[in-house]
Structure 1
């Protein structure tokens, strides 16, 4: 394990003023997004949209890295340059989604565990170690693995179960170690979903538990924390909850939860947007960074929809240049939020 390389990459990914673009939607998810704006999905349609996004003038001032999907890391820009090579030329780290989705847990109805460690010949996937070696050779310098945690507060339900939390925490730790052994900084993403009617306190409790378990498993297997990044959800009430907290409350609760549950030597925190609106995701991050306290880590972003939604809409309705303008604006807004300097008037 090259700890110096991992630490340098992690630090560069959370450099002040910068964050990560999550452009690693699976083909199925990207098809839904494209069709949602009236575009027929195809390998070329996905390539063209993403290549245009990556070519946005000046985006490297706000984007430190881009998480790619397996299809995308093998594709080229319009001029034939391989996408990882192009990103590197702009000073942007190429990253790669390495989990292969989720499977239902036996004995835990409605709960899932993320897969991707073992080979899946039926789906064309080699084991994670082999894939990480290949991705590193292709230019990737970081990776992402997402665990999905569902809260269900309906009568008689106790989701998430302890088995769900434990199994996902172990998978995240094993993934992180394999990545680090192959030179890739692992982004550890245990996402507590916003779906449900739970309140913010329940979200905080579940988030704290999955974070504690994940980093305990990381400690057990020997993950090097300064060479890893955490991609957590914010502490937010479920979408169907009657109790929706203020944005200031979300920011304070999130910082408190992380400060209590995450080792202070982790390389950085890059939040997921998780169904928040573009402006909400920016505002919440801004409020955290505007606090009159010094956080243990850089608090940054690794947004997908919250960076891309407006750009995708513009791509469908106004064309390539308008899509880049929309993306550049959202990237700039989140860059300002990194230092607590964003304001609603700038929107």
Structure 2
């Protein structure tokens, strides 16, 4: 039994090393498939599934899981262009072709699985929205590690350039990141700057400086990823991408259309996409499988080209 356990541990270490290499060097982007209870109704509406098409949360989540499965099963959704995918916690218990989704992504598609861990946002204060408390985070992280999840993602939002608020958001993000690192996973820190902010450029510059300060407090060997809004100033986050404690910097689409997001991403050659709405733009339930596959392939192609 100890011999078998040793083999399993070595296999796990080898798998994690392979996943890390792919995230660090892979020529592709990270798909955001982590629609939660708050964002699922809007995502489904854009997909052509209205709230009259389901009558309970169970039915709603079943609809969005079928959408995710349809995306994942498409031939265009592969490691050549998609190096990772972020999942909603509920998705951990779902299956595709008899395998848990995280296992299917890695073992069948070669795509590194991540897990969204935040539980939504607090009300706005000091120009930002902090993350709500995450009860049971330790057990969630332990379960995620057992299921082959490589890392996590947690989101907060910055609405204006408020020094107190931005410092609080970044501090909270790094506090949680240390818990994730302690569980042997790699955290994606996502302090989103709203694209509607009247002080977006100023907020982004202050955010960069706060993140740099927090990175200096990490221990040697600790690595995080950053998921940031596409900045107004091209190359603003290059210094973060080059930091020895940063594995990769990825960009959120933040409400931009696919074409807008890709155009902005192309100006930031040290950022990789991690898009949700831009990835699924134009996809509908009513499409034939061939139409769906073609539309998804087009979106993936645009995002991949802008990422690399």
Q: Shorter-chain TM-score: which interval?
A: 0.7 to 0.9
Aligned counterparts of 1:6 and 1:80: Cα–Cα separation in 2: 23
Q: 2:32 aligns with which of 22, 31, 34?
A: 22
Q: What are the superposed Cα offsets for residues 13-59 of structure 1, whole Å, 9 maximum, x if unpaired? A: 24342110001111231122213444135222111111110111142
Q: Secondary structure at the match of 2:274?
A: strand
1:84 CA drift (Å): 1.0
Asked if 2 retains the 8 angstrom alpha-carbon contact of 1:173 and 1:215, the reply is: no
> For 2:227, which of 220, 231, 235 is the aligned residue?
231
Q: How does 1:1-347 map to 2 (within 5 A)?
A: 9-39=19-49, 40-41=53-54, 42-60=60-78, 61-77=80-96, 79-89=97-107, 90-104=109-123, 108=125, 111-117=128-134, 119=135, 126=136, 128-151=137-160, 160-196=161-197, 198=198, 202-222=199-219, 224=221, 227-236=223-232, 253-255=233-235, 257-260=236-239, 264-265=243-244, 266-289=246-269, 298-311=270-283, 313=284, 316-339=285-308
Residue 7 and residue 207 in structure 1: after superposition, are their counterparts in 2 closer, same or farther (change >3 A)? Answer: farther
Q: Name 1:345's counterpart in structure 2.
A: none
Q: Secondary structure at the match of 2:130?
A: strand
What secondary structure sits across from 2:123 in the alignment?
strand
* Whole-angstrom distance in 1 between the partners of 2:220 and 2:168: 17
CA gap 1:50/1:15 in 2 versus in 1, 3 angstroms: same
Q: Structure 2: give runs of 5+ residues left out of the alignment.
A: 1-12, 55-59
Q: CA RMSD in A?
A: 2.6
Displacement of 1:171 in angstroms is 1.2
TM-score by structure 1 length? 0.75
Structure 2 distance, partners of 1:98, 1:193, is 20
Please give the per-residue CA displacement for 1:223-259, whole angstroms capped at 9, x wherever unaligned: 855x3211111223xxxxxxxxxxxxxxxx230x213
In 2, the alpha carbon distance for the partners of 1:216 and 1:4 equals 32
Give the Cα separation in 2 of the matches to 1:274 and 1:286.
16
Distance in 2 between the 1:211 and 1:21 partners? 24
* SS at 2:184 equivalent: coil
Residue 4 of structure 2 aligns with which residue?
Answer: none
SS at match of 1:45: helix
Shift of 1:74: 1.4
Q: Alignment length, in residue pairs?
A: 286
Contact 2:76–2:300 (CA under 8 A) maintained in structure 1: no
TM-score, with structure 2 as normaliser: 0.83
